[in-house]
Homo-oligomer: A and B are copies of this chain.
Amino acid sequence: MRGSQALIGALVESGVQVCFANPGTSEMHFVAALDTVPQMRGVLGLFEGVCTGAADGYGRMAGKPACTLLHLGPGLANGLANLHNARRAGSPVVNVVGDHATFHKRYDAPLESDIESLARPMSTWYRSTRSPSEVASDASAAVAAALGPPFGVATLVLPADVSWSEVPESTGQMFRPEAIGPSAGRLVGAEAVEQIAKILSSGERTALLLGGRAFRAGALRSASRVSVATGAKLLGETFPGRMERGAGLPAVERLAYLGEFAALQLDGISHLVLVDAKSPVTAFAYPGRPSDLVPESCAVHTGAAGGDAVAGALDALAEALGAGSGPYLPAPESRPEVAPGPLTPASAAAVVGALLPEGAIVSDEGITAGLYFSGATEGAPPHDWLCPSGNAIGQGLPVATGAAVACPDRPVIAVQADGSAMYTIQALWTQAREGLDVTTVILDNRSYAILNFELKRVGAEEGGKVAATLLDLSDPDLDFVGLARSMGVPAVRAESSEDLAEAFGRAVSEPGPHLIQAVLEKGGGF
């Protein structure tokens, strides 16, 4: 047995079933070994950012890692932005990077680079496996590291000679696959729970700030019970990795992206209790404005941290408040009305809200033109919503791709801004090849609209002609219908609500990928 086979075998025994791959010469033994371990599915991406983003989407939905297969430092580099997003989303990923043979590295061959320096910033765990006898246990350790708690991005570097060499026979007995599946996390102690209960019962104005695993159905119901029992405001992080939501589930008011609005949401709160969330800060700095969003007179408490048993902590908190089986506030069933007429960000959102299928998974990278979609779907049948947690654009289509691989029986919807779609547009080809049930709605405003907006907010001089050109996506206009069809994805253009409703209804009722270019007013956002 070669190192490559031992690696894949160990990954499979540790529960990894999918490899999102864009291999090169140094990964050829890994590729060949895939045929000897049929439990591992290989999915080709035409660009590494597609592979890492797909692994992120898979991890968010499957609750266990897929692996990637990337080619040396430059291949890893191409995948880093979406590993950044995975890390911020708290998504489990085993990131396999092929390296030159150990004896080859000293020659500084053309593709040689410092893989560790590149990988560390986006990895929660890093190891370069040094021998065929260690590759299985290293693979297993990588899966364990990805599963946490908390979930993370585990980068495992595989030198070509470790991959092609025979594993010593004695090694087999040394390998013990790690326990599969994420643990619920560290238990939050009764004393800590009591302390939070006391704060929430103090009569002062309090809020829970939910993030990460607090956005799962059970945790949401417990949090809502706490809120009902104590009057604590229920707030959420701006861009959680995965939210369960829709009719029947408690709705959570997420903090606005704009610090000015977030400050209003937090205004007057005396105690902010973090539940798998970070203390709120603005995404960017602005001249003369605070980065820290916590009001001066507000104390911040940790109810549950990233690696904690979040659902359990919220259960215990509800129990401690005597609300363990008390009422919670489910979002009422409701669908927006579709008014005929030209497409706007609001009317496009209404169409999707009206027609969102039950059990849908929404990959949301709609940015400015997508702001209405969350509200328009709050009362739709239960679904999952995946946000761009790391704010690095280019994750929307890959995450949708990976989510569809993880959940082949659920419809996936990508609410996708035009500018950010172009970063990883190659994902459409993988959707076509794998026949994935993804409906992409391109919000086509022919503009980096958010930057036109930010240009003013950062206090820059009124942008002139050059600045306007750099934030403009027309001249020439992008034909997303043509791009999609060229990669095998059926696509249509929609210029009115009726167009979009018809196209969206058809797309979600047919299997396989579809794309709809929803043509909005130029520069149109919220």
Contact = CB atoms under 8 A, between A and B. Distances in A.
Interface in A442-472: 450-451, 454-455, 458-467, 469-472
A31 B467 contact: yes
Contacts of A35: 461, 463-467
A193 interface: no
A473 B482 CA distance: 19
B113 A84 contact: yes
Nearest to A422: B46
A285 B23 contact: no
Contact of A392 (B85, B111, B466): B111
A26 interface: yes
A301 interface: no
A49 B26 contact: no
A246 to B, nearest CB: 25
Contacts of A155: none
A480 B486 contact: yes
Nearest to A471: B31
A239 B110 contact: yes
Interface residues of A, number: 103
A107 B461 CA distance: 27
A487 B475 CA distance: 10
A184 interface: no
A80 B74 contact: yes
A485 B479 contact: yes
Given A23-B451, A77-B77, A486-B480, A101 B285 contact: yes
Contacts of A121: 73, 113-114, 117-118
A526 interface: no
Contact of A77 (B80, B471, B478): B80
Contact of A458 (B25, B111, B392, B426): B25
A125 interface: no
Contacts of A426: 422-423, 425
Given A32-B461, A464-B35, A292 B479 contact: no
A302 B38 CA distance: 52
Nearest to A287: B164
Nearest to A89: B110
Nearest to A31: B467
A21 interface: yes
Interface in A366-401: 389-392, 394
A483 B491 CA distance: 14
Interface in A72-129: 73-75, 77-78, 80-81, 84-85, 88, 100-101, 103-104, 107-111, 113-114, 117-118, 120-122
Given A451-B25, A470-B42, A389 B483 contact: no
Contacts of A389: 110
A104 B458 contact: no
B470 A488 contact: no
Interface in A175-194: none
B470 A31 contact: yes
A78 B291 contact: no
A465 B34 CA distance: 9
Interface in A233-276: 239
B423 A164 contact: no
A391 B423 CA distance: 22
A463 B31 contact: yes
B80 A84 contact: no
Contacts of A88: 110
A487 B483 CA distance: 8
Interface of A: 21, 23-26, 28-29, 31-36, 38, 42, 44, 46-47, 49, 73-75, 77-78, 80-81, 84-85, 88, 100-101, 103-104, 107-111, 113-114, 117-118, 120-122, 160-161, 164, 239, 278, 281-285, 287, 291-292, 389-392, 394, 419, 422-423, 425-426, 429, 432-433, 450-451, 454-455, 458-467, 469-473, 475-483, 485-488
Given A34-B470, A109-B291, 14 more contacts: A21-B470, A28-B455, A35-B465, A36-B464, A73-B121, A77-B77, A108-B281, A109-B284, A113-B122, A164-B458, A164-B459, A423-B426, A481-B486, A486-B486
